[in-house]
Amino acid sequence: MQPFADTLTTVAVVTAADDPEASALPILPYLPELFFGLVAFAILYFVVKSKVVPNLEKAYADRTAAIEGGMEQAEQAQAEAEAARQEYVAQLAGARDEAARIREEAKEQGAAIVAEMRQQAQAEAARITETAHKQVEAERQQAMVSLRGEVGQISTDLASRIVGESLHDQARQTGVIDRFLAELEAGDVQRTQVGTGQES
């Protein structure tokens, strides 16, 4: 197992056979070794403290930062997506409101138009009726006037023929016809009294 080690051991034992250290108690320290151990550890400690640990800790910090940075980025992207979705939803709701509002307006406008049209039609109808009434009245007046003239003429002609003389001037002078017609219109003269006595 340990040829080399044992070689050295043997050599050491042989050359230092009368060495007091060889026969010293193994639990008592050999002071040069103790001091050497302290110095050796001090050197290693210095290297580890000044070079190794700072470098490793820096790498750890960078690693943590990189991981946290990535997570932060992902969170940011998520937040952005959420914001976009919110905006989209808001827009959609706005559009719905807008559509509803427009429909409502259209309905109202339609109703208003219908009402207006109806009013206009009614006014027009009333106007036409009025005009018609007026025309009929005018025509009736006209017919009445011409009828009156003609009836007067016919009546006097007839009477002249019956009497045998012209009553035109006299009748005109006395205004008999007009008076008669006026009475007739007023209903004071009943046709039955001058006619055959038959009721119409």
Partner 1 sequence: MILTSALPVPMADFPPSPSTFWQPLVNFGTVEILGMEMTLAITRPMVVMALSVGLLSWWLVATTKRAAVVPSKGQWFTEKVYDFVRNDVARDMIGSKEFMRFVPLLFAMFVLILANNWAGIIPPIQLPTFGRIGFPIALTLVIYVVYHWIGVQKHGVVGYFKFMIPPGLPAWIAPAIFVLELITFFITRPLTLALRLFGNMFAGHMLLLVFTLGAWELFTQGGFLTAVAIPAWIMSFAMVLFEALVQFLQAYVFVLLAASYIGGALADEH
**Which residues in this chain contact partner 1 in the complex, by CB under 8 A?**
1-16, 19-38, 40-41, 43-45, 47-49, 51-53, 55-59, 62-63, 66
Q: Measure the CA–CA gap between 69 and 65, rounded to whole angstroms.
A: 6
CA distances from 158 to 119, 125, 168, 171 (A): 56, 47, 11, 12
Nearer to partner 1, 15 or 129 (CB): 15
Minimum distance of partner 1 from residue 84's CB (angstroms): 32
Q: Closest CB to partner 1 among 29 and 94?
A: 29
Instruction: Give the sign of the dihedral formed by CA 188, CA 193, CA 194, CA 200.
Output: positive
To the nearest whole angstrom, how small is the minimum distance from the Cβ of residue 32 to partner 1? 7
Q: Whose Cβ is closer to partner 1: residue 49's or residue 133's?
A: 49
Which residues have CB under 8 Å from 168's CB, separation 6+? 156, 160
- Please state the closest distance from residue 73 (CB atom) to partner 1, in A: 16
Distances (CA, A) of 37 to 30, 43, 70: 11, 10, 47
Strand ranges, E, within the chain = none
Minimum distance, C-beta of residue 78 to partner 1, in the bound complex (Å): 24
Task: Closer to partner 1 by CB, 23 or 190: give it.
Answer: 23
